[in-house]
Amino acid sequence: DSGVTQTPKHLITATGQRVTLRCSPRSGDLSVYWYQQSLDQGLQFLIQYYNGEERAKGNILERFSAQQFPDLHSELNLSSLELGDSALYFCASAWGANTGELFFGEGSRLTVL
């Protein structure tokens, strides 16, 4: 158990809909990262927050947004969903802003029909 909690574990929705994925980092970790893993692909970096502020942005679509709240949990919002958004979305946390050693949650599997 990494200590990172992601909900929901599975989500099935329709095209055009909006979903919110939630992540609670390990106790004491200030950084939260979001990654997308499509079928048989590596992990693509989406966005990072550190202590409530956006620190780095990767290949995140404009239809996607995220935030980190004062209690350090984070939410990833995906809107106007398309079939291609079906993927495993991982949240990871770390103590620092650029430590590299990330602790991953179990992921949220999103299926868009």
Partner 1 sequence: AQTVTQSQPEMSVQEAETVTLSCTYDTSESDYYLFWYKQPPSRQMILVIRQEAYKQQNATENRFSVNFQKAAKSFSLKISDSQLGDAAMYFCAFIIQGAQKLVFGQGTRLTINP
Contact 105, 2 (CB under 8 A): yes
Question: Which of 25, 107 has the CB closer to partner 1?
Answer: 107
Task: Tell me the C-alpha distance between 25 and 53, whole Å.
Answer: 15
Report the residue from 42, 70, 71, 83 that binds partner 1 according to the rule CB under 8 A. 42
Contact map string, positions 48 to 87, toward partner 1, x by CB under 8 A: x-x----xx-x-----------------------------
Q: How far is the CB of 46 from partner 1 (least distance, A)?
A: 10
Question: Nearer Cβ to partner 1, position 61 or 79?
Answer: 61
Q: How far apart are CA 107 and CA 11, in angstroms?
A: 11
DSSP-derived secondary structure for 69-98: -TTS-EEEEE-S--GGG-EEEEEEEESSSS
34 binds partner 1 (CB under 8 A): no
